[in-house]
């Protein structure tokens, strides 16, 4: 078996095992066994207390604020890319308009030169002075055609000039928006780095055993939330069948297990939460918004009891986190800095709602 197949099989087994545990209705999530007391003379294991709990809550707050800022950064990034493309398109239209206007001016110049060659008499004047009835009638048609052509030429020049002015005004507006979004992007980046730096400094002050206990507290909180969610009986009515696109999106997400969380990243080597879900659905041939907040705002909402694998679960009141539901009460998501793409309980965080990308 090739290394690629072995990797995919390992990832699939990880998901199956996780789903088996997470899907057990009403199953209690037992906390890890207490750490045995060290031998005499060793450092005692930190006892669970208010200090570590307060640190956990502070870390949650810092990483949540970083997630909100990451969404703002991603939104600004998406807008700057769109506006840059629009500016390029407008520049092309302006160039084409200028070329067209130059051509129209050449036509008008040719008409003026023709009039000069005929002694300064317009076609209309020459027509009125003609004594030949045949020439009179023939000239009448040419005069009418000439007048129509001149009118059309002037109208076309006026319209082209108006279009150029509008294109220039649109380009100027896009530049202003682009500058504003670049500033928003820079401000969001600064906030992200500030929050993550504060969190890392806070964690760096902990000793090894305190970090282990902190990780245990995080697991216990997630397990408690998942158990409470399962105890509501929510999975009794959840049985939606995945579509072919759902299956492709889940497959992509599964193949990313173990890759690191990096804010602003959308693969292939690292992801943030919405980078993972948007790329998973892009791989299934269906584009979705880049940020979790826009995914919540733009995609179709479905009831939790109607969700199926491939649906996206949006978390927290501000829609600052998103994960992909994979069935059996489990999700795949990119949690936060310092973590990797992983399987977790769908109810381990406060659920805002569920959206369906391919509805």
What the block records as the tokens of 38 is 């060290």
Per the DSSP assignment, residues forming a β-bridge with 260 are 340
Sorted by sequence, the CB contacts under 8 Å of residue 76 that are 6+ apart come out as 181, 182, 184, 185, 188
d(CA 287, CA 358): 9
Strand, coil or helix: 323:
strand
Strand, coil or helix: 76:
helix
Contacts 24+ apart (CB under 8 A), 178-182: 178/80, 178/83, 178/84, 178/87, 181/76, 181/79, 181/80, 181/83, 182/76, 182/80
Catalytic site positions? 273, 321, 333
Residue labelled with tokens 């108006």: 162
d(CA 332, CA 16): 12
d(CA 222, CA 230): 12
Where do runs of H (alpha helix) occur along 205-284?
208-231, 244-255, 273-283
Nearest Cα to 299, choosing from 317, 327, 274, 316? 274
Longest Cα–Cα distance of the chain, Å, equals 130
């Amino acid at each position: 078996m090739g290394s690629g197949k072995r990797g995919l099989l390992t990832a699939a087994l990880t998901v199956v095992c996780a789903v088996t545990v997470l899907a057990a209705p009403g199953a209690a999530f037992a906390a890890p066994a207490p750490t045995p007391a060290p031998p005499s003379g060793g450092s005692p294991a930190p006892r669970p207390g208010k200090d570590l709990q307060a640190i956990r809550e502070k870390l949650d707050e810092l990483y949540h604020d970083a997630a909100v800022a990451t969404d703002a950064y991603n939104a600004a990034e998406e807008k700057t890319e769109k506006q840059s493309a629009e500016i390029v398109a407008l520049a092309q239209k302006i160039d084409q308009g200028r070329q067209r206007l130059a051509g129209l001016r050449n036509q008008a110049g040719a008409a003026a030169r023709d009039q000069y060659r005929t002694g300064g008499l317009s076609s209309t004047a020459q027509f009125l002075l003609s004594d030949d009835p045949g020439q009179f009638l023939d000239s009448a048609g040419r005069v009418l055609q000439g007048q129509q052509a001149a009118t059309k030429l002037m109208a076309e020049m006026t319209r082209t000039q108006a279009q150029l002015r509008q294109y220039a005004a649109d380009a100027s507006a896009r530049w202003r928006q682009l500058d504003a979004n670049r500033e928003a992007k820079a401000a969001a980046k600064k906030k992200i780095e500030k929050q993550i730096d504060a969190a890392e400094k806070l964690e760096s002050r902990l000793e090894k055993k305190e970090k282990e206990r902190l990780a245990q507290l995080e697991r216990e909180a997630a397990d408690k939330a998942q158990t409470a969610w399962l105890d509501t009986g929510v999975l009794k009515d959840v049985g939606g069948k995945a579509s072919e696109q759902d299956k492709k999106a889940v497959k992509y997400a599964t193949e990313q297990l173990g890759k690191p969380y990096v804010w602003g990243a959308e693969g292939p080597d690292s992801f943030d939460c919405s980078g993972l879900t948007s790329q998973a659905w892009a791989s299934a041939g269906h584009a979705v918004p880049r940020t979790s907040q826009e995914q919540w705002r733009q995609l179709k909402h479905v009831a939790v009891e109607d969700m199926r694998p491939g649906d996206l679960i949006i978390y927290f009141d501000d829609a600052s986190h998103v994960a992909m539901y994979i069935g059996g009460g489990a999700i795949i998501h990119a949690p936060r800095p310092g973590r990797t793409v992983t399987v977790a309980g769908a109810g381990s965080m406060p659920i805002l709602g569920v959206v369906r990308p391919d509805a």
